[in-house]
């Protein structure tokens, strides 16, 4: 029995004030309804070159380097939710906020003319096909809402093979819009990946999903992100993923080096000390007080990545982002 920090564990804890509980599963995850008045995040807010939409806040996959944990913590605090004995790190994975009304809000608020040719990307912070999607089907309903329009530039980012459940909707979207799907995989080594991502789908399952998307005519590729210095940035590691991607029919392979903002540091650095202690000093030198590994490293990684893209016949551009993110980062001025 868990002993709550607020009272003796003689009686069940009362439900905390705040968000209504939609469901609780035996693995200990609670799903809480998050009321929303808008669901689209404009580029002016995110400082990214696209609009974004995230149906869930929090994610059960438990990726150590996830940068979205602070948003979950802030949202819980604003809603007056008590996370109980969970740390902020644990709460992100165990208390999933569900934007239950998101499809209806999208139908009311989407103005295609306002988006213009700027892409709308689903899943930029938390995975839209995480385990919660099996029950709540929010992502599917959002995609169905987008079927009412034409001519949009749409993107989806996911680690989950659950996306193939929606092949019928995705193929219809591809006929009405410019759609691109990024299957995110940090490593083709399942043992390595499990050390980095506690509960995410195995790499072979993601690659199989990619192959099914391509067989159905959906434009899709691989996003190797993040690329971890000294862990997944080797020639062999990157080449294996590109080889597997080629076999699955990927249209592109893009990548990005690890960014260590405050939220990612809190999750990743303890894992680094536990799993890769020999790399701690290197990361302290590379990142220090910065969230990026430095221009020298980024330029070297961009050259390596481009060489491998050429070797496997992949373009250096992404359908939504244009020039690959590695090349963009390497081309930016110092400071």
What the block records as the tokens of 250 is 């990927």
What CATH number is attached to the domain comprising 176? 3.20.20.70
Backbone torsions φ then ψ of 47, nearest 5 degrees: 65, 25
Give the structural domain span for 144.
21-331
Tens digits of pLDDT across the chain (335 residues): 333 433 333 333 334 446 777 766 657 799 999 999 999 999 999 899 999 999 999 999 989 999 998 889 888 888 877 777 788 778 899 999 999 999 999 999 999 999 999 999 999 999 999 999 999 999 999 999 999 999 999 999 999 999 999 999 999 999 999 999 999 999 999 999 999 998 999 999 999 999 999 999 999 999 999 999 999 999 999 999 999 999 999 999 999 999 999 989 989 999 999 999 999 999 999 998 899 999 999 999 999 999 999 999 999 999 877 666 676 665 665 54
pLDDT of residue 334: 55
pLDDT of residue 28: 79
Instruction: Tell whether 11 is covered by a domain.
Output: no
Instruction: Tell whether 13 is covered by a domain.
Output: no
Instruction: Tell whether 9 is covered by a domain.
Output: no
d(CA 212, CA 194): 24
Of 37, 201, 57, 204, nearest in space to 128 by CA: 57
Parallel/antiparallel/unpaired status of strands 56-57 and 95-98? antiparallel
Q: In the chain, how many H helices and how many E strands? A: 15, 12
pLDDT of residue 8: 34
Task: Give 275's contacts (C-beta < 8 A, 6+ positions apart).
Answer: 195
Three-point CA angle 216, 221, 225, nearest 5°: 145
Q: Under a CB-based contact definition with an 8 Å cutoff, are residues 116 and 40 in contact?
A: no
User: Which residue's entry shows tokens 């208390």?
Assistant: 95
Instruction: Tell whether 107 is covered by a domain.
Output: yes
pLDDT of residue 77: 86
**Packing angle, helices 235-247 and 295-312, rounded to 10:** 40
pLDDT of residue 5: 39
Instruction: Tell whether 231 is covered by a domain.
Output: yes
Say what the alpha-carbon torsion angle 200, 206, 212, 216 is, to the nearest 10 degrees.
Answer: 80
Instruction: Tell whether 16 is covered by a domain.
Output: no
Domain count, the chain: 1
User: Which residue's entry shows tokens 């999607």?
Assistant: 133
Instruction: Tell whether 154 is covered by a domain.
Output: yes
Question: Is 93 exposed, middle or buried (CB count within 10 Å of its CB: 0-12, 13-18, 19+)?
Answer: buried
Instruction: Tell whether 323 is covered by a domain.
Output: yes
């Amino acid at each position: 029995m868990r002993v709550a920090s607020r009272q003796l564990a003689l009686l069940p804890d009362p439900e905390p004030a705040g968000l209504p509980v939609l469901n609780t599963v035996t693995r200990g995850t609670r799903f809480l309804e998050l009321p929303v008045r808008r669901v689209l995040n404009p580029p002016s807010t995110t400082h990214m070159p696209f609009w974004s939409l995230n149906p869930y806040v929090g994610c059960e996959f438990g990726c150590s380097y996830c940068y979205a944990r602070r948003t979950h913590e802030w949202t819980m605090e604003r809603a007056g939710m008590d996370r109980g004995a969970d740390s902020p790190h644990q709460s992100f994975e165990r208390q999933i906020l569900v934007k239950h009304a998101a499809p209806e809000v999208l139908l009311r608020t989407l103005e295609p003319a306002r988006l213009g040719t700027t892409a709308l990307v689903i899943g930029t912070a938390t995975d839209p096909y995480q385990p919660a999607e099996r029950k709540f089907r929010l992502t599917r309903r959002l995609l169905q809402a987008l079927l009412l329009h034409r001519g949009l530039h749409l993107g989806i980012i996911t680690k989950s093979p659950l996306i193939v459940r929606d092949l019928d909707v995705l193929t219809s979207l591809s006929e009405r819009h410019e759609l691109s799907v990024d299957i995110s995989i940090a490593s083709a080594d399942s043992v390595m990946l499990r050390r980095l991502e506690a509960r995410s789908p195995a790499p072979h399952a993601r690659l199989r999903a990619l192959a099914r998307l391509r067989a159905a005519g959906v434009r899709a590729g691989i996003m190797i992100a993040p690329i971890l210095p000294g862990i997944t940035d080797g020639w062999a590691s990157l080449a294996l993923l590109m080889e597997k991607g080629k076999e699955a029919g990927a249209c592109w392979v893009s990548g990005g080096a690890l960014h260590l903002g405050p939220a990612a540091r809190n999750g990743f650095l303890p894992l680094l000390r536990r799993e890769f202690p020999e790399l701690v000093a290197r990361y302290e030198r590379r990142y220090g007080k910065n969230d990026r590994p430095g221009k020298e490293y980024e330029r070297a990684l961009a050259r390596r990545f481009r060489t491998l893209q050429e070797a496997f016949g992949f373009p250096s551009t992404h359908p939504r982002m244009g020039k690959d993110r590695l090349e963009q980062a390497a081309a930016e001025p110092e400071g």
